[in-house]
Structure 1
Amino acid sequence: MPLIDAPLVNRPVWFDLSTSDLTAAKALYGELFDWNFYDAGPDFGHYTMAHTPNGRSAAAIAPKMPGQEQSPVVWTVYWGTSDIEATVARIEGNGGRLMFPPMDIPDTGRMAIAFDPEGAAFGLWQARPFGGAGIEGEHGAMCWSEVNCRDGAKNGAFYAAVFDLDVHKMDAPGVVYHTLHPKSGGDPVCGVLQMDAQWGEIQPAWMPYFAVADLDTANAVWAKHGGKNIAGPIPSPYGRIMVVQDPQGAYLSYMAG
Protein backbone atom coordinates (compact mmCIF):
# COMPACT_ATOMS: atom_id res chain seq x y z
CA MET A 1 0.00 0.00 0.00
CA PRO A 2 1.16 3.58 -0.64
CA LEU A 3 3.84 4.89 1.68
CA ILE A 4 3.86 8.68 2.08
CA ASP A 5 7.33 10.12 2.49
CA ALA A 6 6.79 13.77 1.52
CA PRO A 7 4.14 16.35 2.50
CA LEU A 8 1.02 16.30 0.34
CA VAL A 9 -1.20 19.31 -0.35
CA ASN A 10 -4.74 20.04 -1.53
CA ARG A 11 -6.04 16.76 -0.15
CA PRO A 12 -6.77 15.25 3.29
CA VAL A 13 -3.52 14.26 5.00
CA TRP A 14 -4.33 13.59 8.66
CA PHE A 15 -7.06 12.50 11.06
CA ASP A 16 -7.16 13.15 14.80
CA LEU A 17 -9.64 12.47 17.55
CA SER A 18 -10.54 14.86 20.35
CA THR A 19 -11.99 12.65 23.08
CA SER A 20 -13.39 12.83 26.59
CA ASP A 21 -11.67 9.57 27.63
CA LEU A 22 -8.15 9.10 26.31
CA THR A 23 -7.62 5.79 28.11
CA ALA A 24 -10.80 4.22 26.69
CA ALA A 25 -10.09 5.56 23.20
CA LYS A 26 -6.57 4.13 23.20
CA ALA A 27 -7.89 0.74 24.33
CA LEU A 28 -10.56 0.65 21.60
CA TYR A 29 -8.59 2.01 18.66
CA GLY A 30 -5.38 0.29 19.69
CA GLU A 31 -7.05 -3.10 19.50
CA LEU A 32 -9.17 -2.24 16.46
CA PHE A 33 -6.30 -0.99 14.31
CA ASP A 34 -3.27 -2.66 15.99
CA TRP A 35 -1.88 0.79 16.75
CA ASN A 36 1.13 1.62 18.90
CA PHE A 37 0.97 4.94 20.75
CA TYR A 38 3.38 7.74 21.58
CA ASP A 39 2.17 10.37 24.10
CA ALA A 40 3.80 13.77 23.46
CA GLY A 41 3.35 14.65 27.14
CA PRO A 42 1.67 17.42 29.14
CA ASP A 43 3.40 20.28 27.31
CA PHE A 44 1.54 19.18 24.15
CA GLY A 45 -1.75 18.34 25.86
CA HIS A 46 -1.02 14.58 25.79
CA TYR A 47 -1.46 14.58 22.03
CA THR A 48 -0.95 10.88 21.34
CA MET A 49 0.41 9.71 17.99
CA ALA A 50 -0.81 6.37 16.65
CA HIS A 51 1.46 4.24 14.47
CA THR A 52 0.78 1.14 12.42
CA PRO A 53 2.80 -1.97 13.32
CA ASN A 54 5.37 -1.06 10.65
CA GLY A 55 6.05 2.24 12.43
CA ARG A 56 4.18 4.58 10.08
CA SER A 57 2.15 7.49 11.47
CA ALA A 58 -1.56 6.75 11.08
CA ALA A 59 -3.57 9.25 13.16
CA ALA A 60 -3.68 10.80 16.62
CA ILE A 61 -5.85 10.79 19.74
CA ALA A 62 -5.92 13.55 22.34
CA PRO A 63 -8.00 14.67 25.31
CA LYS A 64 -10.11 17.75 24.76
CA MET A 65 -8.26 21.02 25.12
CA PRO A 66 -8.84 23.09 28.28
CA GLY A 67 -12.00 25.13 27.89
CA GLN A 68 -13.40 22.71 25.29
CA GLU A 69 -14.71 20.11 27.73
CA GLN A 70 -18.32 20.60 26.61
CA SER A 71 -17.54 20.36 22.90
CA PRO A 72 -18.49 17.20 20.99
CA VAL A 73 -16.13 14.25 20.75
CA VAL A 74 -15.07 14.28 17.10
CA TRP A 75 -12.61 13.06 14.52
CA THR A 76 -11.16 15.97 12.51
CA VAL A 77 -10.02 15.64 8.90
CA TYR A 78 -7.04 17.88 8.04
CA TRP A 79 -6.19 19.15 4.56
CA GLY A 80 -2.57 19.66 3.57
CA THR A 81 -1.54 23.12 2.43
CA SER A 82 1.76 24.73 1.47
CA ASP A 83 0.58 28.21 2.54
CA ILE A 84 -1.90 28.19 5.39
CA GLU A 85 -2.56 31.96 5.33
CA ALA A 86 -3.41 31.87 1.62
CA THR A 87 -5.72 28.90 2.18
CA VAL A 88 -7.46 30.72 5.04
CA ALA A 89 -8.03 33.69 2.73
CA ARG A 90 -9.64 31.41 0.13
CA ILE A 91 -11.83 29.80 2.79
CA GLU A 92 -13.13 33.16 3.97
CA GLY A 93 -13.43 34.43 0.39
CA ASN A 94 -15.66 31.49 -0.56
CA GLY A 95 -18.11 31.60 2.33
CA GLY A 96 -16.28 29.60 5.01
CA ARG A 97 -15.09 30.86 8.38
CA LEU A 98 -12.43 30.12 10.96
CA MET A 99 -12.82 28.38 14.31
CA PHE A 100 -9.13 28.67 15.23
CA PRO A 101 -6.68 30.85 13.26
CA PRO A 102 -3.32 29.48 12.14
CA MET A 103 -1.03 28.53 15.01
CA ASP A 104 2.44 27.06 15.26
CA ILE A 105 3.03 23.57 16.61
CA PRO A 106 6.72 23.73 17.56
CA ASP A 107 9.05 21.68 15.36
CA THR A 108 6.05 20.05 13.68
CA GLY A 109 3.89 22.37 11.56
CA ARG A 110 1.12 24.93 11.48
CA MET A 111 -2.58 24.23 11.90
CA ALA A 112 -5.98 25.92 11.77
CA ILE A 113 -9.59 24.77 12.09
CA ALA A 114 -12.30 26.12 9.79
CA PHE A 115 -15.97 25.66 8.91
CA ASP A 116 -17.29 25.24 5.39
CA PRO A 117 -20.41 27.23 4.36
CA GLU A 118 -22.70 24.51 5.76
CA GLY A 119 -20.91 24.38 9.11
CA ALA A 120 -18.84 21.21 8.72
CA ALA A 121 -15.53 21.62 10.55
CA PHE A 122 -12.21 20.65 8.98
CA GLY A 123 -8.55 21.26 9.68
CA LEU A 124 -5.63 22.72 7.77
CA TRP A 125 -2.09 21.44 8.14
CA GLN A 126 1.16 22.95 6.84
CA ALA A 127 4.11 20.61 7.28
CA ARG A 128 7.17 21.91 9.18
CA PRO A 129 8.38 19.17 8.79
CA PHE A 130 5.69 16.64 9.83
CA GLY A 131 3.48 15.93 6.82
CA GLY A 132 0.71 13.82 8.37
CA ALA A 133 -0.10 10.18 7.71
CA GLY A 134 2.87 8.11 6.56
CA ILE A 135 0.80 5.41 4.92
CA GLU A 136 -2.70 4.93 3.56
CA GLY A 137 -4.91 2.09 2.43
CA GLU A 138 -3.61 -0.63 4.75
CA HIS A 139 -5.05 -1.97 8.01
CA GLY A 140 -5.23 0.85 10.55
CA ALA A 141 -4.47 3.61 8.04
CA MET A 142 -6.62 6.31 6.49
CA CYS A 143 -8.22 5.24 3.22
CA TRP A 144 -10.88 7.86 2.36
CA SER A 145 -12.81 10.82 3.70
CA GLU A 146 -15.97 12.62 2.70
CA VAL A 147 -18.04 15.57 3.83
CA ASN A 148 -21.73 14.96 4.50
CA CYS A 149 -23.73 18.05 3.52
CA ARG A 150 -27.11 19.33 2.36
CA ASP A 151 -26.08 20.68 -1.07
CA GLY A 152 -23.42 18.50 -2.63
CA ALA A 153 -22.81 20.57 -5.76
CA LYS A 154 -22.49 23.84 -3.85
CA ASN A 155 -20.33 22.46 -1.07
CA GLY A 156 -18.16 20.57 -3.53
CA ALA A 157 -17.60 23.84 -5.38
CA PHE A 158 -16.43 25.44 -2.12
CA TYR A 159 -13.70 22.85 -1.55
CA ALA A 160 -12.74 22.89 -5.22
CA ALA A 161 -12.22 26.67 -5.07
CA VAL A 162 -10.26 26.54 -1.81
CA PHE A 163 -7.97 23.67 -2.81
CA ASP A 164 -7.79 24.12 -6.62
CA LEU A 165 -9.65 20.93 -7.50
CA ASP A 166 -12.22 19.76 -10.03
CA VAL A 167 -15.66 18.44 -9.05
CA HIS A 168 -17.05 15.31 -10.70
CA LYS A 169 -20.59 14.06 -10.12
CA MET A 170 -20.81 10.29 -9.81
CA ASP A 171 -23.45 8.26 -11.59
CA ALA A 172 -24.69 6.52 -8.44
CA PRO A 173 -28.36 5.48 -8.32
CA GLY A 174 -30.21 6.65 -5.20
CA VAL A 175 -27.48 8.97 -3.91
CA VAL A 176 -26.07 12.37 -4.88
CA TYR A 177 -22.30 12.00 -4.63
CA HIS A 178 -19.45 14.14 -5.94
CA THR A 179 -15.73 13.48 -5.94
CA LEU A 180 -12.92 16.04 -5.92
CA HIS A 181 -9.93 15.53 -8.22
CA PRO A 182 -6.62 17.27 -8.92
CA LYS A 183 -6.87 19.54 -11.95
CA SER A 184 -4.02 17.57 -13.48
CA GLY A 185 -6.24 14.46 -13.38
CA GLY A 186 -5.89 11.24 -11.46
CA ASP A 187 -7.64 9.63 -8.55
CA PRO A 188 -10.12 11.54 -6.39
CA VAL A 189 -8.85 12.98 -3.12
CA CYS A 190 -12.17 12.87 -1.21
CA GLY A 191 -15.93 12.73 -1.56
CA VAL A 192 -18.97 14.96 -1.03
CA LEU A 193 -22.10 13.08 0.05
CA GLN A 194 -25.41 14.93 -0.13
CA MET A 195 -27.60 14.07 2.83
CA ASP A 196 -31.26 13.32 2.13
CA ALA A 197 -34.38 13.32 4.32
CA GLN A 198 -33.33 10.05 5.99
CA TRP A 199 -30.49 11.93 7.75
CA GLY A 200 -33.03 13.97 9.72
CA GLU A 201 -31.46 16.81 11.71
CA ILE A 202 -27.89 15.46 11.66
CA GLN A 203 -25.48 18.34 11.13
CA PRO A 204 -23.06 18.45 8.17
CA ALA A 205 -19.71 16.95 9.11
CA TRP A 206 -16.58 15.28 7.77
CA MET A 207 -16.31 11.49 7.96
CA PRO A 208 -12.89 9.79 8.15
CA TYR A 209 -12.49 6.27 6.78
CA PHE A 210 -9.92 3.73 8.00
CA ALA A 211 -9.00 0.44 6.34
CA VAL A 212 -9.29 -2.83 8.27
CA ALA A 213 -8.02 -6.24 7.25
CA ASP A 214 -11.20 -8.13 8.20
CA LEU A 215 -14.62 -6.59 8.76
CA ASP A 216 -15.98 -9.32 11.05
CA THR A 217 -12.95 -9.09 13.33
CA ALA A 218 -13.23 -5.30 13.43
CA ASN A 219 -16.95 -5.48 14.26
CA ALA A 220 -16.24 -7.89 17.12
CA VAL A 221 -13.64 -5.53 18.61
CA TRP A 222 -16.00 -2.59 18.20
CA ALA A 223 -18.78 -4.41 20.06
CA LYS A 224 -16.38 -5.59 22.79
CA HIS A 225 -15.51 -1.99 23.66
CA GLY A 226 -19.10 -0.73 23.59
CA GLY A 227 -19.07 0.94 20.19
CA LYS A 228 -22.29 1.51 18.28
CA ASN A 229 -23.01 0.37 14.73
CA ILE A 230 -24.90 3.09 12.84
CA ALA A 231 -25.05 1.51 9.38
CA GLY A 232 -23.51 -1.38 7.53
CA PRO A 233 -22.06 -3.44 6.21
CA ILE A 234 -22.64 -1.20 3.18
CA PRO A 235 -21.43 -2.75 -0.10
CA SER A 236 -19.38 -0.53 -2.39
CA PRO A 237 -17.05 -1.04 -5.36
CA TYR A 238 -14.13 -0.58 -2.94
CA GLY A 239 -15.23 -2.88 -0.12
CA ARG A 240 -17.74 -3.24 2.70
CA ILE A 241 -18.22 -0.14 4.85
CA MET A 242 -19.29 0.27 8.48
CA VAL A 243 -20.49 3.62 9.82
CA VAL A 244 -19.97 3.58 13.58
CA GLN A 245 -19.94 5.72 16.73
CA ASP A 246 -17.47 5.19 19.53
CA PRO A 247 -18.60 5.07 23.20
CA GLN A 248 -17.64 8.73 23.72
CA GLY A 249 -19.68 9.88 20.70
CA ALA A 250 -17.27 10.23 17.75
CA TYR A 251 -18.40 9.05 14.32
CA LEU A 252 -16.14 7.35 11.80
CA SER A 253 -16.18 4.66 9.14
CA TYR A 254 -14.00 1.64 8.61
CA MET A 255 -13.98 -0.64 5.61
CA ALA A 256 -12.48 -3.86 4.30
CA GLY A 257 -11.77 -4.54 0.65
Structure 2
Amino acid sequence: MPIRNEAWPEGTPAWIDCQVDDPAKAAQFYAELFGWEIQDGGPESGGYLMASKAGASAAGIGPKPDSMVDTPSVWTTYFAVADADATAAKVVAAGGQLVAPPFDVMEFGRMFVAADPVGAVFAVWQATGHNGAAVYNEHGAYCWNELHTRDAAAAKAFYAEVFGFTYTDFDFGDGEYVVFTPPTRTESVGGIADESAKPADGIPSYWLVWFQFDDVDTGVARVAELGGRVLQAVADSPAGRSAIIAGPQGEAIGIIDPSKAVGEMPAPNA
Protein backbone atom coordinates (compact mmCIF):
# COMPACT_ATOMS: atom_id res chain seq x y z
CA MET A 1 0.00 0.00 0.00
CA PRO A 2 1.22 3.57 -0.62
CA ILE A 3 2.94 4.93 2.50
CA ARG A 4 4.29 8.45 2.94
CA ASN A 5 6.83 9.10 5.68
CA GLU A 6 7.58 12.77 5.00
CA ALA A 7 5.66 16.04 4.92
CA TRP A 8 3.37 16.55 1.95
CA PRO A 9 4.27 19.14 -0.72
CA GLU A 10 2.78 22.58 -0.15
CA GLY A 11 -0.80 22.94 -1.37
CA THR A 12 -1.49 19.19 -1.28
CA PRO A 13 -4.42 17.85 0.76
CA ALA A 14 -2.34 16.37 3.57
CA TRP A 15 -4.74 15.38 6.34
CA ILE A 16 -8.41 14.80 6.98
CA ASP A 17 -10.43 14.64 10.15
CA CYS A 18 -14.03 14.82 11.28
CA GLN A 19 -15.60 16.86 14.05
CA VAL A 20 -18.56 15.07 15.62
CA ASP A 21 -20.68 15.11 18.78
CA ASP A 22 -19.59 11.60 19.79
CA PRO A 23 -16.07 10.66 18.61
CA ALA A 24 -16.28 7.16 20.08
CA LYS A 25 -19.45 6.42 18.12
CA ALA A 26 -17.86 7.76 14.92
CA ALA A 27 -14.71 5.73 15.56
CA GLN A 28 -16.74 2.54 15.84
CA PHE A 29 -18.57 3.30 12.58
CA TYR A 30 -15.43 3.99 10.55
CA ALA A 31 -13.45 1.16 12.11
CA GLU A 32 -16.19 -1.22 10.97
CA LEU A 33 -16.53 0.40 7.54
CA PHE A 34 -12.87 0.91 6.63
CA GLY A 35 -11.04 -1.53 8.89
CA TRP A 36 -9.33 1.28 10.80
CA GLU A 37 -7.46 0.83 14.05
CA ILE A 38 -8.30 3.62 16.52
CA GLN A 39 -5.91 5.08 19.08
CA ASP A 40 -6.83 7.57 21.80
CA GLY A 41 -4.42 10.49 21.96
CA GLY A 42 -4.74 10.73 25.73
CA PRO A 43 -6.06 13.52 27.98
CA GLU A 44 -3.74 16.13 26.50
CA SER A 45 -5.28 15.58 23.04
CA GLY A 46 -8.71 16.79 24.15
CA GLY A 47 -10.48 13.61 23.10
CA TYR A 48 -8.92 13.49 19.60
CA LEU A 49 -8.67 9.97 18.15
CA MET A 50 -6.18 8.81 15.52
CA ALA A 51 -7.20 6.25 12.89
CA SER A 52 -4.64 4.08 11.14
CA LYS A 53 -4.31 1.16 8.74
CA ALA A 54 -1.55 -1.36 9.43
CA GLY A 55 0.05 1.20 11.72
CA ALA A 56 0.03 4.04 9.17
CA SER A 57 -1.96 7.19 9.99
CA ALA A 58 -5.13 7.58 7.93
CA ALA A 59 -7.39 10.21 9.54
CA GLY A 60 -8.46 11.91 12.74
CA ILE A 61 -11.74 11.91 14.67
CA GLY A 62 -12.37 14.64 17.21
CA PRO A 63 -15.06 16.32 19.26
CA LYS A 64 -16.56 19.55 18.01
CA PRO A 65 -14.97 22.63 19.56
CA ASP A 66 -17.25 24.80 21.66
CA SER A 67 -17.81 27.15 18.72
CA MET A 68 -19.20 24.28 16.61
CA VAL A 69 -21.51 22.50 19.06
CA ASP A 70 -24.62 23.74 17.24
CA THR A 71 -23.29 23.04 13.73
CA PRO A 72 -23.50 19.82 11.66
CA SER A 73 -20.82 17.15 11.99
CA VAL A 74 -18.30 17.45 9.13
CA TRP A 75 -15.12 16.14 7.58
CA THR A 76 -12.36 18.73 7.07
CA THR A 77 -9.65 18.84 4.41
CA TYR A 78 -6.22 20.14 5.51
CA PHE A 79 -3.74 21.60 3.02
CA ALA A 80 0.00 21.29 3.62
CA VAL A 81 1.98 24.52 3.95
CA ALA A 82 5.47 25.48 5.02
CA ASP A 83 4.32 28.52 7.04
CA ALA A 84 0.83 28.56 8.55
CA ASP A 85 1.03 32.20 9.68
CA ALA A 86 2.09 33.46 6.26
CA THR A 87 -0.67 31.41 4.62
CA ALA A 88 -3.24 32.80 7.06
CA ALA A 89 -2.28 36.30 5.95
CA LYS A 90 -2.79 35.24 2.32
CA VAL A 91 -6.24 33.86 3.16
CA VAL A 92 -7.35 37.20 4.62
CA ALA A 93 -5.80 39.20 1.77
CA ALA A 94 -7.63 37.01 -0.77
CA GLY A 95 -11.03 37.63 0.87
CA GLY A 96 -11.29 34.56 3.10
CA GLN A 97 -11.98 34.48 6.83
CA LEU A 98 -10.09 32.86 9.69
CA VAL A 99 -12.44 30.61 11.66
CA ALA A 100 -9.63 29.64 14.05
CA PRO A 101 -6.38 31.66 13.75
CA PRO A 102 -3.03 29.82 13.67
CA PHE A 103 -2.23 27.78 16.77
CA ASP A 104 0.18 25.01 17.77
CA VAL A 105 -1.04 21.43 18.15
CA MET A 106 1.37 20.24 20.83
CA GLU A 107 4.60 19.14 19.14
CA PHE A 108 2.83 17.84 16.03
CA GLY A 109 2.32 20.95 13.93
CA ARG A 110 0.75 24.37 13.52
CA MET A 111 -2.64 24.88 11.91
CA PHE A 112 -5.60 27.14 11.33
CA VAL A 113 -9.17 26.80 10.06
CA ALA A 114 -10.56 29.17 7.44
CA ALA A 115 -13.49 29.77 5.11
CA ASP A 116 -13.09 30.77 1.49
CA PRO A 117 -15.04 33.77 0.10
CA VAL A 118 -17.91 31.45 -0.93
CA GLY A 119 -18.14 29.95 2.58
CA ALA A 120 -16.43 26.56 2.20
CA VAL A 121 -14.41 25.66 5.30
CA PHE A 122 -10.95 24.09 5.12
CA ALA A 123 -7.85 23.83 7.30
CA VAL A 124 -4.11 24.28 6.86
CA TRP A 125 -1.37 22.12 8.35
CA GLN A 126 2.27 23.04 8.93
CA ALA A 127 3.90 19.75 9.85
CA THR A 128 6.48 19.31 12.58
CA GLY A 129 5.99 16.03 14.46
CA HIS A 130 3.02 14.79 12.40
CA ASN A 131 3.38 14.81 8.60
CA GLY A 132 -0.30 14.15 7.89
CA ALA A 133 -1.79 11.07 6.27
CA ALA A 134 0.73 8.29 5.73
CA VAL A 135 -1.70 5.99 3.89
CA TYR A 136 -3.68 7.11 0.83
CA ASN A 137 -5.12 5.92 -2.50
CA GLU A 138 -6.14 2.51 -1.19
CA HIS A 139 -9.17 0.87 0.38
CA GLY A 140 -10.14 2.77 3.52
CA ALA A 141 -7.89 5.75 2.84
CA TYR A 142 -8.55 9.14 1.31
CA CYS A 143 -7.93 9.45 -2.41
CA TRP A 144 -9.44 12.78 -3.58
CA ASN A 145 -10.59 16.10 -2.09
CA GLU A 146 -13.27 18.05 -3.90
CA LEU A 147 -14.75 21.51 -3.45
CA HIS A 148 -18.47 21.89 -4.20
CA THR A 149 -19.01 25.61 -4.67
CA ARG A 150 -21.75 28.09 -5.54
CA ASP A 151 -19.24 30.40 -7.26
CA ALA A 152 -16.49 28.55 -9.11
CA ALA A 153 -14.85 31.70 -10.47
CA ALA A 154 -14.48 33.24 -7.02
CA ALA A 155 -13.27 29.95 -5.54
CA LYS A 156 -10.67 29.41 -8.26
CA ALA A 157 -9.32 32.94 -7.86
CA PHE A 158 -9.06 32.52 -4.09
CA TYR A 159 -7.23 29.18 -4.07
CA ALA A 160 -4.92 30.32 -6.86
CA GLU A 161 -3.95 33.35 -4.79
CA VAL A 162 -3.51 31.43 -1.52
CA PHE A 163 -1.94 28.17 -2.73
CA GLY A 164 -0.84 28.98 -6.28
CA PHE A 165 -3.17 26.41 -7.83
CA THR A 166 -3.42 26.08 -11.60
CA TYR A 167 -6.50 24.51 -13.16
CA THR A 168 -7.52 22.16 -15.94
CA ASP A 169 -11.17 22.29 -17.04
CA PHE A 170 -13.27 19.27 -18.00
CA ASP A 171 -16.78 19.09 -19.44
CA PHE A 172 -18.86 16.37 -17.79
CA GLY A 173 -22.09 17.83 -19.15
CA ASP A 174 -23.60 18.88 -15.80
CA GLY A 175 -21.60 21.97 -14.88
CA GLU A 176 -18.01 23.11 -14.82
CA TYR A 177 -15.47 20.79 -13.21
CA VAL A 178 -11.81 21.64 -12.81
CA VAL A 179 -8.89 19.79 -11.28
CA PHE A 180 -6.22 21.74 -9.43
CA THR A 181 -2.47 21.33 -9.31
CA PRO A 182 -0.23 23.01 -6.70
CA PRO A 183 2.97 24.66 -7.97
CA THR A 184 4.95 21.98 -6.10
CA ARG A 185 3.31 19.12 -8.03
CA THR A 186 3.06 17.98 -11.65
CA GLU A 187 -0.22 16.08 -11.21
CA SER A 188 -3.67 17.20 -10.07
CA VAL A 189 -4.51 16.54 -6.41
CA GLY A 190 -8.21 17.52 -6.19
CA GLY A 191 -11.18 19.04 -7.95
CA ILE A 192 -13.67 21.91 -7.91
CA ALA A 193 -17.28 21.32 -8.95
CA ASP A 194 -19.46 24.29 -9.91
CA GLU A 195 -22.89 23.83 -8.30
CA SER A 196 -24.26 27.30 -9.01
CA ALA A 197 -26.92 25.87 -11.34
CA LYS A 198 -28.23 23.37 -8.78
CA PRO A 199 -30.97 24.19 -6.25
CA ALA A 200 -29.37 25.60 -3.11
CA ASP A 201 -31.61 23.67 -0.67
CA GLY A 202 -29.80 25.42 2.17
CA ILE A 203 -26.56 23.55 1.44
CA PRO A 204 -23.49 25.82 1.60
CA SER A 205 -20.30 25.41 -0.38
CA TYR A 206 -18.20 22.63 1.14
CA TRP A 207 -15.17 20.39 0.77
CA LEU A 208 -15.95 16.69 0.26
CA VAL A 209 -13.44 13.96 1.17
CA TRP A 210 -13.43 10.87 -1.06
CA PHE A 211 -12.27 7.49 0.29
CA GLN A 212 -11.24 4.59 -1.89
CA PHE A 213 -13.47 1.54 -1.38
CA ASP A 214 -12.87 -1.74 -3.16
CA ASP A 215 -16.55 -2.68 -3.55
CA VAL A 216 -18.86 0.33 -3.37
CA ASP A 217 -22.08 -1.70 -3.47
CA THR A 218 -20.95 -3.74 -0.49
CA GLY A 219 -19.83 -0.54 1.19
CA VAL A 220 -23.24 1.11 0.78
CA ALA A 221 -24.97 -1.96 2.25
CA ARG A 222 -22.53 -1.91 5.17
CA VAL A 223 -23.17 1.78 5.77
CA ALA A 224 -26.87 1.05 6.25
CA GLU A 225 -26.11 -1.82 8.62
CA LEU A 226 -23.89 0.44 10.72
CA GLY A 227 -26.47 3.22 11.07
CA GLY A 228 -25.34 5.55 8.27
CA ARG A 229 -27.34 6.55 5.21
CA VAL A 230 -26.91 7.08 1.49
CA LEU A 231 -26.98 10.67 0.27
CA GLN A 232 -26.24 9.96 -3.39
CA ALA A 233 -26.96 6.54 -4.87
CA VAL A 234 -24.30 4.31 -6.38
CA ALA A 235 -23.39 5.46 -9.89
CA ASP A 236 -20.83 4.72 -12.57
CA SER A 237 -18.51 7.29 -14.14
CA PRO A 238 -15.15 7.48 -15.93
CA ALA A 239 -13.58 8.07 -12.50
CA GLY A 240 -15.05 4.90 -10.97
CA ARG A 241 -18.11 3.47 -9.26
CA SER A 242 -19.09 5.76 -6.41
CA ALA A 243 -21.65 6.89 -3.84
CA ILE A 244 -21.93 9.64 -1.27
CA ILE A 245 -22.85 8.52 2.22
CA ALA A 246 -23.23 9.98 5.70
CA GLY A 247 -22.15 8.55 9.02
CA PRO A 248 -24.64 8.12 11.88
CA GLN A 249 -23.95 11.71 13.01
CA GLY A 250 -24.59 13.16 9.56
CA GLU A 251 -21.07 13.85 8.27
CA ALA A 252 -20.83 13.31 4.50
CA ILE A 253 -18.08 11.51 2.57
CA GLY A 254 -17.68 9.96 -0.86
CA ILE A 255 -16.61 6.37 -1.47
CA ILE A 256 -15.27 5.35 -4.86
CA ASP A 257 -13.78 2.30 -6.56
CA PRO A 258 -11.47 3.62 -9.32
CA SER A 259 -11.02 0.09 -10.72
CA LYS A 260 -14.68 0.08 -11.79
CA ALA A 261 -14.48 3.07 -14.16
CA VAL A 262 -17.10 3.16 -16.92
CA GLY A 263 -16.64 5.26 -20.06
CA GLU A 264 -13.85 7.52 -21.17
CA MET A 265 -12.67 10.60 -19.31
CA PRO A 266 -13.52 13.72 -21.33
CA ALA A 267 -10.63 15.56 -22.88
CA PRO A 268 -9.56 18.74 -21.07
CA ASN A 269 -11.15 21.91 -22.42
CA ALA A 270 -8.86 23.99 -24.53
Contact 1:140/1:211, CA 8 A, preserved across alignment: yes
Helix, strand or coil at the partner of 2:234: strand
Contact 2:19/2:74, CA 8 A, preserved across alignment: yes
Other-structure match for 1:34: 35
Other-structure match for 1:118: 118
Other-structure match for 2:99: 99
Unmatched runs of 5 consecutive residues or more in structure 2: 259-270
Distance 1:68 1:120 in 2: 15
Distance 1:120 1:184 in 2: 23
Other-structure match for 1:205: 206
Other-structure match for 1:151: 151
Helix, strand or coil at the partner of 1:135: coil
Offset of residue 108 of structure 1: 0.4
Q: Match for 1:244: what amino acid?
A: I
Other-structure match for 1:236: 237
Other-structure match for 1:55: 55
Offset of residue 254 of structure 1: 1.0
After superposition, where does 1:1-257 map in structure 2 within 5 Å?
A: 1-8=1-8, 9-52=10-53, 54-66=54-66, 68-183=68-183, 186-195=186-195, 196-257=197-258
Deviation readout 1:81-112 (Å, 9 max, x if unpaired): 00111111111111101000100011100110
Give 4+ residue runs of structure 1 displaced > 4 Å after superposition: none
Distance 1:185 1:5 in 2: 17
Unmatched runs of 5 consecutive residues or more in structure 1: none
Deviation readout 1:201-246 (Å, 9 max, x if unpaired): 3111110111112112211220012211111213222211111122
Backbone CA RMSD of aligned residues? 1.5
Distance 1:100 1:110 in 2: 12
Q: Match for 1:35: what amino acid?
A: W
Distance 1:185 1:246 in 2: 32
Distance 1:111 1:96 in 2: 16
Q: Percent identity?
A: 36
Helix, strand or coil at the partner of 2:18: strand
Q: Match for 1:120: what amino acid?
A: A
Distance 2:159 2:233 in 1: 28
Aligned pair count reads 256
Distance 2:102 2:110 in 1: 6
- Change in 2 beyond 3 A, CA 1:116/1:56: same
Contact 1:152/1:178, CA 8 A, preserved across alignment: no
Structure 2 length-normalised TM: 0.90
Contact 1:153/1:178, CA 8 A, preserved across alignment: no
Distance 1:227 1:150 in 2: 27
Contact 1:148/1:207, CA 8 A, preserved across alignment: yes
